[in-house]
Amino acid sequence: MPPLPLFHLLLVAASLAEPSAGNMLDPGMCQKSVACGDSVDVRYPFFLTDATAAIVGNTAYSYCGYPGMAIICEGGRATLRLKGNEYTVLNINYEDHTVTVADTEVLSGGDCPRVTRNVTVPPEAWLNISTTASINLSFFFDCVFTAATPPPPAMSPINCSSFLGRDRVSYVVEEPDVAPADQWPRACKGMVVVPVLKELLLGSDEYLARLNSDGYGKVLKQGFQLSWDPSAGPCFMCEQSKGQCSYNQSGEIHRLLMLRRQRAQPGLR
Ligand SMILES: *[C@@H]1O[C@H](CO)[C@@H](O)[C@H](O)[C@H]1NC(C)=O
Ligand SMILES: *[C@@H]1O[C@H](CO)[C@@H](O)[C@H](O)[C@H]1NC(C)=O
Ligand SMILES: *[C@@H]1O[C@H](CO)[C@@H](O)[C@H](O)[C@H]1NC(C)=O
Ligand SMILES: *[C@@H]1O[C@H](CO)[C@@H](O)[C@H](O)[C@H]1NC(C)=O
Ligand SMILES: *[C@@H]1O[C@H](CO)[C@@H](O)[C@H](O)[C@H]1NC(C)=O
């Protein structure tokens, strides 16, 4: 007789919503790990969705994964939407609970991209910008200095060719280098703050020394890090026993999928 398997998987699906046939959570839907392109593996608490379904409020569907962690996979590119803006997913680390993303607009913006938006992570995304891994770059665009508001003495404006030949100058600086009392930013028209990977920027001279030329673009294209905290969510207990949850459009638990390990041999416990 072949030896009995030590473990077998017991699947328990528990519904919090009114039980109905259409409500059943397909266990396969939760467990699937899907490759998107060469470097991104999409699995719980992320989930794949198509571009139209990702528009919140579109349909009354539910998803297996955390709210706001929908990934659109198109042409090998994984995209996460934050406040309607598209970010390309560069890497997901499921052990450290971090995801590295870069502004899609910046990735397609040439060597010296013009950054047009602040990064805003809405609370409903269940993601936070990793404070330890990040440092902010501040951009000041289209500055016109006067005798009353002179340029900063120790900083060089962005000197990429796409920024030259205008009557205005722009700057990119590490956020800590601008004091709230500084007057010169008032001479600038647009200000944008974007997080970048701290280790990358401060780890060597490669980017910092050329920040005002092509250095900033290179750093931006490597993205910034967001993290999630499973223990902050309502599914933590369930996940501890290898379960997963699906949520409805309001981000409330719709179904629990408990996947429990059970001893097949009685008496061993
Ligand atoms: C994000 O940060 C806020 C404030 O520090 C915290 O309350 C929240 O639980 C964090 N969310 C996640 C998903 O880590
Ligand atoms: C970056 O800027 C944002 C918004 O201006 C701020 O909330 C955040 O704390 C800053 N991050 C760091 C690492 O300084
Ligand atoms: C970005 O945030 C700063 C405050 O941190 C604000 O002054 C600026 O107007 C914002 N820029 C855009 C493009 O929304
Ligand atoms: C732009 O500035 C960098 C230093 O940050 C310098 O190496 C480079 O030669 C400058 N380029 C031009 C076109 O002035
Ligand atoms: C989500 O589920 C909660 C609790 O079951 C319910 O109150 C809420 O109306 C649901 N939202 C949607 C959009 O279905």
The string of pLDDT tens digits covering residues 67-99 is 888 899 999 999 999 998 999 999 999 999 999
| Separation of CA 159 and ligand 4 centre (Å) | 6
| Separation of CA 214 and ligand 1 centre (Å) | 34
**Two tokens, residue 10:** 């017991």
- Would you say residue 57 has pLDDT above 70? no
> Helix, strand or coil for residue 10?
strand
Say if ligand 3 is within 6 A of residue 193 CB: yes
Specify the pLDDT at position 164.
85
Give the ligand whose atoms come closest to the C-alpha of residue 176: 2
The string of pLDDT tens digits covering residues 180-219 is 899 999 999 999 999 999 999 999 889 999 999 999 999 9
| Separation of CA 213 and ligand 1 centre (Å) | 35
Give the ligand whose atoms come closest to the C-alpha of residue 56: 5
How far is the C-alpha of 143 from the C-alpha of 188, rounded, in Å? 4
- Would you say residue 246 has pLDDT above 90? no
Say if ligand 2 is within 6 A of residue 102 CB: no
| Separation of CA 128 and ligand 1 centre (Å) | 6
For tokens 């200095």, the residue is 145
How deeply is 71 buried, as exposed, middle or buried, from its count of CB atoms within 10 A (0-12, 13-18, 19+)? buried
% of the chain beyond a pLDDT of 90 = 52
The CA distances from residue 67 to 56, 71, 82, 251, in Å, are: 10, 11, 12, 6
Whole-model pTM: value is 0.83
- Would you say residue 269 has pLDDT above 80? no
Residue located nearest, by CA, to atom 3 of ligand 5: 252
Say if ligand 1 is within 6 A of residue 181 CB: no
Higher pLDDT, 84 or 252: 84
The string of pLDDT tens digits covering residues 133-161 is 999 999 999 999 999 999 998 899 999 99
Confidence bin at 244 (pLDDT 50/70/90): confident
Higher pLDDT, 227 or 251: 227
Q: Return mean pLDDT, the chain.
A: 81
**Two tokens, residue 191:** 């200000």
Specify the pLDDT at position 31.
58
Q: What is the CA radius of gyration of the chain?
A: 24
Specify the pLDDT at position 11.
36
One-letter amino acid at 245 equals C
Give the ligand whose atoms come closest to the C-alpha of residue 115: 3
Residue located nearest, by CA, to atom 9 of ligand 5: 250
Task: Tell me which H or E stretch contains 250.
Answer: none
| Separation of CA 19 and ligand 4 centre (Å) | 66
